[in-house]
Amino acid sequence: MTSPADHREAAMLGPTATPSSGDRSLTVAFLHLAPELGALDRNRSLIEYGTRVAAESGADWVLSGELVVPGYRFEPLIGTNWIAEQPDSWMGRLARLSSDLGVASFVSHPERETPTGKLFNSLFVIGRNGQILGRHRKLQPTPGSEDWSSAGEPGRPIPVDGIKIGLLICADAYKPLPALRLRDSGAQLLVSAAAWWPGEWGPKGEWEARTL
C-alpha cells in the first residue's frame, strides 16, 4: 500500500479557486491498495488500516479502488454466493470507523438486490456520521470480467458535506453521457472508483474529458 499521506489532493470548490475567494478546500486521500484476489478478510482489514492512516494524515474523504474488497477478477476464484445485501456486517463496521475518525468514505463493494437476486458492482458513500448517504451501481459492467454484474440505472448527485457529488465507476467514464447527466442534475464534483490500468486498453484522456 502506498501511504495516503503521499496521495492527497486539496480540491477547491466553488465558482472560482483563488485563495481570497472564500472557497472551501477538501483533502481527499486515495488508497492505492494491492488487494489479494479473493482474500475478503485481508482486503477489508487493509481498507480499515488505510482509512486510519488517511484520517491521521488529515484526510476529509477516503477513496479506494473498484472492487477493492474481493479483487477485480474474483468471480472464477470465489464465486458470488458470498455477495450479500448491503449494508452487511463489514459495511457497518466501516461506517462506525468512518464516524469515529470523522471522515467520509467511498468504498466499492458488490451487492445483492433482494428479492430479485441481481448482483451489482456498487460504490457506496459513508458520511462522517457513519450513515450510508447513497450508492451508485455501475452502468457499464465490463464484458467478461464483470459478467456476474447487472447494469445499474443512472442516479442523481449525492450531497456529501454540503457538496453535490456525482458517482461513477471506471468504464462509466468511457463515454461522456453519464458525466454530463450528473452535471445537468447539479453535480459539483465527480468521484469515480476505478480498476483501469494503463496499456493497450487503458485510459486515453477520459478522466480529464469528464471534468466538470
* Set of cell numbers at residue 132: 450510508
HSE (CB half, 13 Å, CA atoms) of 14? 12
Per-residue pLDDT, 134: 98
* pLDDT, averaged in runs of 10, over the chain (212 residues): 38 37 79 95 98 98 97 97 98 99 98 96 98 97 95 97 96 90 96 74 58 60
**Can you give the three-state secondary structure of 87-108, one letter per residue?**
CCHHHHHHHHHHHHHCCEEEEE
Domain coordinates in residue numbering, the chain: 4-198
CATH architecture of 4-198: 4-Layer Sandwich (3.60)
